[in-house]
Structure 1
Amino acid sequence: MRMIISGRHLEVTPGIRAHAEKKIGKIKKYFDQIAEVYITLSAQHVKTGKVHTADVLVYVNGSKIKAKVEDIDLYAAIDEVVDVLEKQLTKHKEKLRDNNHATGLKKFDYNVETGSITREKTSRIIPTRIMAKPMEVGEAILQMETMGKKFYIFMNAETEELNVVYKRRDGDYSHVEAGWE
C-alpha cells in the first residue's frame, strides 16, 4: 500500500506524518487490496478559529473510497477519518462478497462411478419478449435517446424485419439489419 501525504496551507511535520501513517495504515486489516492512499491535510482560518481537515482518497480494487473530516484538532481529524474509512471499507468488502455470492451460483454434481464431486457454475437464460412497433430508423434512434438506452430493437417499417440501432463509442449511431445470403 502506497501512502502519499500532502498538506494544504499546512506544513506536514514528521510528527504529523508519523501519526497519519500509523493511524491510516490500520485500514490494511479491513481490506487487502488497497493500492494507494492519498491523504491531504489542510488548515483553514474561520471566524471561530482554525479548522483542520483530513481528506483521504483510497484506491481499492479499481474503486475509489473517499472520506473527509473536519475538526479543530488535526490529530482528532485524522483519528475520525480512520473511523469513517473503516466503516466504508467494511461496507465495500461486504458488497463485493455479496456480489460474488450472487453471481457464483454453483451446482454440485456427484459421479457415482468415480465417487468424485465436481462443481460447475450455472448460468440462467431469462427470456424476454419485446413488442417491436414498425418505425423508421431515425424514429428508433430518437426513441433510444429519449429512453436513455444503449440500444433499441424495432421493426423496420420499410423491410418489416427486426432491426437494432445503437450508439457507438465515437458518438455516431449504427443500424443493424438482418440479412440472408
Structure 2
Amino acid sequence: MKMSIHGKQLVVTDAIRKYAESKLGRVEKYHDSIIELDVSLSAVKTKTGSNHTAEVLAYLSGSTLKATCSDVDLYAAIDQVSDIIEGQLKKHKEKRNANYGQATGVRKIKYNPETHTVEKEAAVNIVKVLLPAKPMDIEEAILQLEMLNRTFYPFTNCETGEMNIVYKRKDGDYGHIEPASK
C-alpha cells in the first residue's frame, strides 16, 4: 500500500509523518485491495485559535473512500480520521464479501447414461458480466479490449444490435464472434 502525506499551510515534520503512518498504516488489515492512501493535513488560524484538519482519500480497486476530521489538536484529528476510515473500510469489505451480483452454490450436474444416475460436482461460482451500455463497432471493441488488458471483450455491435465478442488470439491477431444469421 502506497501512502502519501502532505500538508497545506502546515509543515509536516518527521514526528507528524511517523504518527500518521503508524495510525493510518493499521487500516491495511481491514481491506486487502487498498492501492493508495492520500493523507492531507492542514492548519487554519482563527480568532479563537488554530484548527487542524486531517483528510484521507483511500483509493481501492474500483472505488474511493474519503474521511475528514477537524480538531484543535492535529494528533487528535489524525486519530479521529483513522477511526472513520477504518469503519468505512470494514463496511466496504462486508459489502464486497456479501457476493453482490454473484450466484453461488450452483453445481455442475453430470448424467451417466450407463448407470442412469446423476452425479453432482463441486459448487461453481457464476459471475455476472454487464455489457457496456453504448453500442460500438468492432474496432472500438478491440481498443477497449487492449485498454482493459483482457483476453476477450463482449460488446453490443452497433451495426446489428446483437451481442458480439472480440478476443486476442495466441498468434497476436484478433478474433470476432457473432451470432449466426437465421
| Residue in structure 1 matched with residue 121 of structure 2 by the alignment | 117
Larger CA Rg, structure 1 vs 2: 1
User: How far apart are 1:176 and its partner, in Å?
Assistant: 7.5
User: How far apart are 1:32 and its partner, in Å?
Assistant: 1.2
Whole-angstrom CA distance in 1 between matches of 2:119 and 2:160 = 50
Which TM-score applies when normalising by structure 2? 0.63
Instruction: Give the aligned residue type for 2:104.
Output: L
| Residue in structure 2 matched with residue 49 of structure 1 by the alignment | 49
1:17-166 superposed matches below 5 A: 17-98=17-98, 100=99, 102-109=101-108, 117-121=121-125
3-state SS of the aligned residue for 1:7?
Answer: strand
3-state SS of the aligned residue for 2:4?
Answer: strand
User: How far apart are 1:117 and its partner, in Å?
Assistant: 2.1
Instruction: Give the aligned residue type for 1:103.
Output: Q
Please list every run of 5 or more consecutive structure 1 residues that lacks an aligned counterpart in the other structure: 125-149, 152-165, 169-173
3-state SS of the aligned residue for 1:56?
Answer: strand
User: How far apart are 1:122 and its partner, in Å?
Assistant: 5.8
Whole-angstrom CA distance in 2 between matches of 1:104 and 1:55 = 37
Asked if the contact 2:34–2:59 (Cα under 8 Å) also holds between the matched residues in 1, the reply is yes
State the superposition RMSD in angstroms. 3.3
Asked if the contact 1:110–1:118 (Cα under 8 Å) also holds between the matched residues in 2, the reply is no
Which TM-score applies when normalising by structure 1? 0.63
Percent identical: 40
3-state SS of the aligned residue for 1:24?
Answer: helix
3-state SS of the aligned residue for 1:105?
Answer: strand
Whole-angstrom CA distance in 2 between matches of 1:123 and 1:40 = 38
Whole-angstrom CA distance in 1 between matches of 2:101 and 2:52 = 42
Please list every run of 5 or more consecutive structure 2 residues that lacks an aligned counterpart in the other structure: 137-157, 162-180
Whole-angstrom CA distance in 2 between matches of 1:92 and 1:118 = 29
Instruction: Give the aligned residue type for 2:122.
Output: T
Q: Deviation string for 1:25-69 (max 9, x for gaps)?
A: 000110111111110100001221100000110101121100000
Whole-angstrom CA distance in 1 between matches of 2:20 and 2:126 = 46
Q: Deviation string for 1:157-176 (max 9, x for gaps)?
A: xxxxxxxxx798xxxxx897
